[in-house]
Amino acid sequence: MNSNGAPKENFIFENTTKVKNILSQYPDKQSATLPLLHLAQSENGYISGAVINTVSGLVDCHPAVVMDCVSFYTMLYTKPQGRNIIQVCQTLSCSLNGADALVDQVTDKYGIKPGETTEDDRFTLMKVECLGSCGTAPVVQINKEYHERLSRKSFDELLESHQ
Amino acid sequence: MSAFKPVLTEHIHQEDCHTLSFYKSVGGYTALEKVLKMIPAEVTQEVKDSNLRGRGGAGFPAGVKWGFIPKDTDKPKYLINNADESEPGTFKDRLLMNKAPHQMLEGMIIAAYAIGCHTSFIYIRGEFYKEFKLLEKAVAEAYKDNILGQSILGSTYNLDVVIHRGAGAYICGEETGLIESLEGKRGWPRIKPPFPAIEGYLQSPTIVNNVETLSCVPHIINRGASWFKSIGPEKGPGPRLFCLSGRVNNPGIFEEAMGISLKDLIFDRAGGIPDGKKLKAVFPGGSSSAILTAEEALDVNMDFDELVEKKTMLGSAGVIVMDETVDMVQACLNIARFYAHESCGQCTPCREGTAWLVKMLTRLVNGGGTPNDIDMIFEITDNIGGLIDFSMGSFGKTICPFGEAVAWPVRSFVEKFKDEFLAYLPREKVVA
Amino acid sequence: MPLLKIDDKEFQVESGSTVLETAESNGIEIPHYCYHPALEVVGSCRMCLVQVEGMGKLQVSCNTFVGDVPPDRKVDGKYDMVVHTQNDLVVQERKNILEFLLLNHPLDCPVCDQAGECYLQDYSFKFGNAHSRFEEDKRVRPNEYLGSQIVINQNRCILCSRCVRFTQEISGTSELFVEARGYNSKIAVLEDNPLDNLLAGNVADICPVGALLSTDYIHKNRIWNMEQKPSVCQDCSVGCNVDIFSQKNQIFRLTARENQDVNGYFMCDIGRYGFHRFEEIERVSQPMARNGKSFDVLDWEEAIQKTADLIEKSKDKTAGIVSPFHTNESNYLLGLMMKDTLGTLPPITREEITYPSGFRISADRSPNLRGMNDVCGHLEEDFSSIIKTRDIRGLYILDDGVDRELDDTWKDILAKMDFIIVQSYAMTELAKSAHIVLPGLAPFEREGTITNDKGHIQWLRPSLVTIGDSKPDWEILMLVINALDKDSEHFTDLGEVIKNMSDHFSSYSDVSLFKIGAQGMALNGKSA
């Protein structure tokens, strides 16, 4: 999950079995790039230069090609993030159901604007696009979980419960 | 209330509906057993005869697509299940994956069999982590029960399924963008030709189908193409999951026959508009479709061809309802911003045009607009992906349909609610 | 063969050719940015959109393939495809695409190096709008060094991705990539892997706008000030075709010139920036004779006479040293003069470098080894021993011009000579050890033919004027030959030397500058 941001010098995968499994699933090495990056991010907290070097060696590509890929996707972070990443959906259905107020709620409570992290690394706030659960708007994703039909109160409790 | 007997979502309220044992208990995988005794071409023909059209957004006939796979090549064939549901207003695939993963899996295996594929992929959007874990379990169950892997159910057919997570990019739901992403690169869509059915993943024949489309397949095999064709309009039949969201009392997913009236969906199934407010505008098919005014919305059925006649589309059947409390200009800006954020940046009109639209609309909303701007929006959207005349086909200028996807809704907002845009123009100071 | 109609012209084309390829090879202009014949087609700039009859959407001509269609689908009963490039729809579309490209493009023309050779300028003038309708703030980013030789002005970049594809497909080094997506996309390098391969300079050539710039050339000149001369690179035996840009007798830059028989579309950085070597060297521009530790200046008559006298007196004890850095004509004439004993100095070699696309920098870093071997007659193999066994007392050396450290064997040989005549353009160590120095021309002043290592003979053309009293190398040799033998032929120009040479050597029969032209020719119709 999210580390407290300390970068590692040379990135070595902890779960080497998983790495092997991933590589064996695809007919072409480069296809394993995204799953390896996901695994690395879950272990390292973010995609550092060391991660890129390790992954590029495993998939037989130049590091620049891997970086090209990393920089395209919003879920891959090239900088350390807070321990809890609050992603508030801002697309139409959620926006029509109070998403903006949720963003303000975080700003008021923890003093961070979208894109910022609290001093103690507890929260990073992000505005994201459609999370694919419009029927239960407004929706917030914190780390890996979806939280739906949020009210001011339930959101408050949710935030409190994340250390 | 609905009189339609659910097909795809029949069992979603059962507690263990996602397990293999439950699925088998309600007749699951009998279609697969039947298919394994058929010739692949027969399977494709059955799906062709059913007139099943894609439920991801493009609405292309699935059986016809499968038929494009060349018969005379040694290259491996690939089937990709597009579970990258990212179209605003759409959330049905998530339900199907959570509550009926094996139904989808069975459809996948049948499709793979029909096209001669032995390695297939589920490309699931990265944010759907819970669904990913659930699918992992379902796939593991299938392997254990000889439904996947070697010699499936005692036949000579082998199939592997690989679940591949995306990482946050709407454009990876476009089939060639998806293929690029699956190959480990940035999700830049490819120019066509070559078409994916000829040269797709790793330059090999590839079919990309949506979750819901594949979920229909076992039912077509079990109950026949004629049965499927009899549900709703013949040219675009079948059970369909309609997603209702926005300003409705009862948002959610409603499985109905194709062709149900939009009025029924909004006012009956979804319980109408909260606080007694009036309907103002509707997205019928996700945010990539042109909006309908209340008047237009109350007069149309959810059918592929009917909606095209009304100069919009059924798309992903993601109905977003907007009422009189919704500021059309803000809604337009919201959608434009979504597309600017998701533009892959490869081709000129989309990369520059989407950002231009956002900047212009923002300036308008902040009180800095001029009358000329309103007309400019029409021009810009036409230059990205405009529809000058629907009957002549689209005049999009971009590599992929993203150009049309941003142009149609933004244009329709300005076209149908011009007054609201004009109201944002600063008033001329009157000198007494 | 399918029949394609573009506007009002008909073309029989190979099945599978694209509309753009057909247009390009037939002089029809379809504006484009991202397409490059050496790179993979991506169709992303959308500038080459044309209308194809029967297709609703405008099509990118770089990816529209022409093939045979069944008779009942032919247009007007005979065409397999009809394309319009000049109708209102296409004309308007070009305006629109240019408008999009110029939205964030800075009004830099007065300060941009690409001015005058910029496709954005050219197409805007030909196809674009006269004014901008963009009222918003432009996207502004700082310039960045992508490598030591290439700087990118991010604001001018139109993201055609030619440079990225170049580093992936041609040099295979993949330094460049696109960072981020959408409106925020930009060309980038990883900090620890900058664009420093030997083909890096080509990205500035292929960049259609003034985004990628050569740090060597930046802010130095403009294309309209410079003279452009086609020639051949002399830094290795591949012989890449080049264009040399100079003004007021100063070379400002070299760019690659297309030649599908030699270098394709590109050249390497060794040759590209090599011309700087000649800017600060100590030139020899007058004939000189050794006087103790220094040199006295002579006039040409004296110098030639002295040289001829030395050679005559030594009778068969003179040897000639030809050079793979000199033209065929110079080597040929020295061969005529010293037909008995000819040899060479040790060759200059470095590593052979090949790139995935097939582009090559040869290990042999001289331009004319093959030609030298072809037109000199017999060259002694173990030259240094031959010198000893035949008791050679004098040397006539065509100096490579490469300032090199000779090994002890050669230092010995030189020390023991009665006389050394060096024909050179610079005071190399070799020239300093000479008794007579005859000033020839520097590489960019020379004219002649050279033969690359694949047997392709090419026309070396001068870009700079001769300085001081220097004479063309072939002329000096001819004057010495004439002084040695009153009946020898007096050539009035280079063409006559070539004729004489081609009569002498069968593999060079039929060679003339006219035939060689800008693209060179294979010897005897065959390339090795």
DSSP C404-431: ----HHHHHHHHH-SEEEEEESB--HHH
Q: Is B171 in the same domain as B108?
A: yes
Q: Which of A56, A68, A75, A76 to mutate to test the interface with C (most CBs of C within 10 A)?
A: A68
> Residue B361 belongs to a domain with what CATH number?
1.20.1440.230
Which residues numbered 14-33 in A keep a CB inside 8 Å of some CB on B?
25-28, 30-33
- Closest CA in chain B for residue A74: B168
Q: Is B245 in the same domain as B212?
A: no
Q: Is B219 in the same domain as B357?
A: no
Report yes or no on B307 lying in a domain.
yes
A90 touches chain B (CB under 8 A): yes
- The residues near C273 (Cβ < 8 Å, ≥ 6 apart) are C149, C201, C216, C254
Q: Which of B170, B188, B337, B352 to mutate to test the interface with C (most CBs of C within 10 A)?
A: B352
Query: How many Å apart are CA A119 and CA A125, to the nearest integer?
Result: 12
C178 touches chain A (CB under 8 A): yes
All structural domains of chain A, each given as residue ranges with its CATH number in brackets, are 1-80 (1.10.10.1590), 84-160 (3.40.30.10)
Q: Which of A133, A134, A143, A145 to mutate to test the interface with B (most CBs of B within 10 A)?
A: A134
> Which chain A residues are within 8 Å of B187, Cβ to Cβ?
72-73
Query: Going residue by residue through chain B (432 aa), what tens digit of pLDDT does each one get?
Result: 678 999 999 999 999 999 999 999 999 999 999 999 999 999 999 999 999 999 999 999 999 999 999 999 999 999 999 999 999 999 999 999 999 999 999 999 999 999 999 999 999 999 999 999 999 999 999 999 999 999 999 999 999 999 999 999 999 999 999 999 999 999 999 998 899 999 999 999 999 999 999 999 999 999 999 999 999 999 999 999 999 999 999 999 999 999 999 999 999 999 999 999 999 999 999 999 999 999 999 999 999 999 999 999 999 999 999 999 999 999 999 999 999 999 999 999 999 999 999 999 999 999 999 989 999 998 999 889 866 555 544 456 899 999 999 999 999 999 999 999 999 998 765 555
Q: Which residue has the higher pLDDT, C500 or C347?
A: C500
Check if the beta carbon of residue B380 is closer than 8 Å to that of residue B370.
Answer: no
Question: Residue C321's beta-bridge partner residues?
Answer: C343, C397
Query: HEC profile for C41-63?
Result: CCCCCCCCEEEECCCCCCEEHHH
> Residue B79 belongs to a domain with what CATH number?
3.40.50.11540
Q: Do B165 and A65 lie within an 8 Å CB cutoff?
A: no
Shortest Cα–Cα distance, A73 to chain B (Å):
5
Q: Which of C176, C177, C183, C191 to mutate to test the interface with A (most CBs of A within 10 A)?
A: C177
- Which one of B307, B323, B339 terminates a domain? B323
Query: How many Å apart are CA C6 and CA C260, to the nearest integer?
Result: 27
Q: Give the 3-state secondary structure of residue C517.
A: coil
Q: What is the ipTM of this complex?
A: 0.93
Query: How many Å apart are CA B220 and CA C112, to the nearest integer?
Result: 64
Q: Could you say which DSSP state residue B199 is in?
A: S
Structural domain count of chain B: 3
Q: Which of A24, A34, A100, A148 to mutate to test the interface with B (most CBs of B within 10 A)?
A: A34
Report yes or no on B123 lying in a domain.
yes
Left (φ > 0), alpha (ψ -120 to 50) or beta: where does B161 sit?
A: beta
Q: Do A49 and C193 lie within an 8 Å CB cutoff?
A: no
Report yes or no on B428 lying in a domain.
no
Check if the beta carbon of residue B289 is closer than 8 Å to that of residue B315.
Answer: yes
pTM, two decimals, is 0.94
Share of chain C above pLDDT 70, in %: 99
Facing C100 at nearest CB: one of B349, B373, B395: B349
Angle (CA) B237-B13-B5 rounded to 5° is 30
> Which chain C residues are within 8 Å of A61, Cβ to Cβ?
174
Report yes or no on B429 lying in a domain.
no
Which residues numbered 143-162 in A keep a CB inside 8 Å of some CB on B?
144-146
Q: Do B162 and A144 lie within an 8 Å CB cutoff?
A: no
Shortest Cα–Cα distance, B55 to chain C (Å):
24
Report yes or no on B369 lying in a domain.
yes
Q: Is B246 in the same domain as B224?
A: no
Q: Do C184 and B345 lie within an 8 Å CB cutoff?
A: yes
Q: Report whether pLDDT(A3) > 50.
A: no
Q: Is B123 in the same domain as B194?
A: yes
> Residue B300 belongs to a domain with what CATH number?
3.10.20.600
Q: How many CB atoms lie within 10 A of CB C145?
A: 13
Q: Is B150 in the same domain as B201?
A: yes
Phi, psi of B380 (to 5 degrees): -60, -45
Shortest Cα–Cα distance, C100 to chain B (Å):
6
Token pair 């044309």: residue: C50
Q: Is B303 in the same domain as B400?
A: no
Q: Is B332 in the same domain as B314?
A: no
Q: Do C46 and B344 lie within an 8 Å CB cutoff?
A: no
Q: Do C49 and B397 lie within an 8 Å CB cutoff?
A: yes
Residue C525 pLDDT class (50, 70, 90 cuts): low
Report yes or no on B12 lying in a domain.
no
Q: Do A68 and B185 lie within an 8 Å CB cutoff?
A: yes
Facing C174 at nearest CB: one of A49, A64, A72: A64
Angle (CA) C67-C70-C74 rounded to 5° is 80
Mean pLDDT value across chain C: 93
Strands C360-361 and C353-354: antiparallel
Residue C400: closest CA among C452, C363, C348 = C348
Facing B88 at nearest CB: one of A61, A130, A135: A130
What range defines the domain where residue B283 resides? Answer: 239-323
Phi, psi of C4 (to 5 degrees): -110, 135
Check if the beta carbon of residue A84 is closer than 8 Å to that of residue A145.
Answer: no
Q: Is B307 in the same domain as B411?
A: no
- The residues near A106 (Cβ < 8 Å, ≥ 6 apart) are A86, A88, A112, A123, A125, A159
Overall residue count recorded for chain A in this entry: 163
Token pair 């509309």: residue: C19
Q: Is B76 in the same domain as B110?
A: yes
> Which chain B residues are within 8 Å of C155, Cβ to Cβ?
none
Facing A132 at nearest CB: one of B86, B165, B169: B86
Residue C337: closest CA among C304, C376, C298 = C376
Report yes or no on B7 lying in a domain.
no
C96 touches chain B (CB under 8 A): yes
> Which chain B residues are within 8 Å of C97, Cβ to Cβ?
348-349, 397
Structure tokens at C292: 């103790």
- Which one of B191, B210, B229 terminates a domain? B229
- Closest CA in chain B for residue A76: B167
- The residues near A20 (Cβ < 8 Å, ≥ 6 apart) are none
DSSP A72-132: T-TTS-SS---SEEEEEE-SHHHHTTTHHHHHHHHHHHH---TT-B-TTS-EEEEEES--S
pLDDT tens per residue across span C136-179 = 999 999 999 999 999 999 999 999 999 999 999 999 999 999 99
pLDDT tens per residue across span A19-55 = 999 999 999 999 999 999 999 999 999 999 999 999 9
Q: Is B201 in the same domain as B294?
A: no
Report yes or no on B4 lying in a domain.
no
C180 touches chain A (CB under 8 A): yes
Check if the beta carbon of residue C265 is closer than 8 Å to that of residue C257.
Answer: no
Q: Which residue has the higher pLDDT, C416 or B171?
A: B171
Q: Do C177 and A65 lie within an 8 Å CB cutoff?
A: yes
Q: Which residue has the higher pLDDT, C437 or A8?
A: C437
Residue A6 pLDDT class (50, 70, 90 cuts): very low
Q: Do B126 and A73 lie within an 8 Å CB cutoff?
A: yes
Q: How many CB atoms lie within 10 A of CB B82?
A: 26
Q: Could you give the angle at which helices A63-70 and A49-59 cross, rounded to 10 degrees?
A: 120
Q: Is B217 in the same domain as B104?
A: yes
Shortest Cα–Cα distance, B345 to chain C (Å):
4
Shortest Cα–Cα distance, C356 to chain A (Å):
14
- Which one of B277, B293, B323 terminates a domain? B323
Q: Do B347 and C136 lie within an 8 Å CB cutoff?
A: no
Residue A5 pLDDT class (50, 70, 90 cuts): very low
Shortest Cα–Cα distance, A140 to chain B (Å):
11
